[in-house]
Structure 1
């Protein structure tokens, strides 16, 4: 199936999305790489309601295709999370991005690079003063790493964090391809 990438969009996560988040985080690809452990509905609420209610400085979004929710993506300033900033040791004003595609029908279809590139262009860089963006997939998540390389991210280093090892990758705002 060919995709019309103009039909991809992002909207703010809201409390009506928490059932879908619970399903995604406990099943399939998202559970393997993103959730890492089964989460109760109360745990999902505990984690994501502070983002929804602007109680934490992470901006959370639902990824949609043809207005159908297919995944989750978030951005935050690395320095807003001092413990994480110390672990990744990025010496510049950087934003972070985390994401997953939760709907199995959309996994491994080539959408990832378009989602990330568009999110950087539409949300991350325009809405922050960040000079770069970093992300940290698990070192064994080769599909994600290859996707991020297609966007232009480059490997920086592997670090150990409280959530496990992360393969830190970086792209500068000036390196983002316009295509």
Structure 2
């Protein structure tokens, strides 16, 4: 039996913006994550406040031999509009993507999400009992990834007019 890959995490820095720019403009992220082209200046405008602490979102890169994915987490109570949209008040939200297309579909997404929750997200928010993640209804691969980590379907809501599935995971059930 093969052991899971050892995935490390680093905090996102401004030096990583060119990498995000490259990833976010790749075709595989256009369908569900970054639907329109994004410039390097727009990346800086979006992510600089996160790096300076002006927003409560924590941003990280996932690494094997090189960075291959992006993840972020945040306390729901710090984003009341989002919390109201998904109908939850407590816990943490998590978002992620794999930037390298040749690493999609081989189980790294689930390994990355599982490791991130255990090593980064829940430790950042020790009071949190539940993690929440949402996927467009048509994004079967992302939903399968989240379910394989132990997330359970909790409901459906509309985000930007799109049917979106909400999944939750209790900290103690992290598989």
Q: TM-score, normalised by structure 1?
A: 0.91
CA contact (8 A) 1:133 1:171 kept: yes
1:40 Cα shift? Answer: 1.5
Residue 30 of structure 1 is matched in structure 2 by 29
The number of residues matched between the two structures is: 173
1:135 Cα shift? Answer: 0.4
1:1-45 Cα shifts (integer Å, max 9, x gaps): x78512x11100000110110111111222222111111111111
Residue pairs, 1:92-111, within 5 angstroms: 93-111=90-108
- Are positions 1:133 and 2:131 aligned together? yes
Q: Secondary structure at the match of 1:169?
A: strand
1:64, 1:3 → 2: CA distance? 17
CA contact (8 A) 2:4 2:111 kept: no
Residue 21 of structure 1 is matched in structure 2 by 20
Q: TM-score, normalised by structure 2?
A: 0.93
Structure 2: runs of 5+ lacking an equivalent:
none
Residue 122 of structure 1 is matched in structure 2 by 119
Question: Which structure 1 residue ranges, 4+ long, deviate > 3 Å from structure 2?
Answer: 162-165
Residue 157 of structure 2 is matched in structure 1 by 159
1:34, 1:115 → 2: CA distance? 17
- Are positions 1:5 and 2:2 aligned together? no
> What RMSD over aligned residues (CA atoms) do the two structures have, in Å?
1.5
Q: Secondary structure at the match of 2:32?
A: helix
1:165 Cα shift? Answer: 3.2
Residue 89 of structure 1 is matched in structure 2 by 87
1:66-92 Cα shifts (integer Å, max 9, x gaps): 2x011100000111111111101114x
1:151 Cα shift? Answer: 0.5
Go from structure 1 to structure 2 and tell me whether the alpha carbon gap of 1:104 and 1:39 turns closer, same or farther (over 3 Å shift). Answer: same
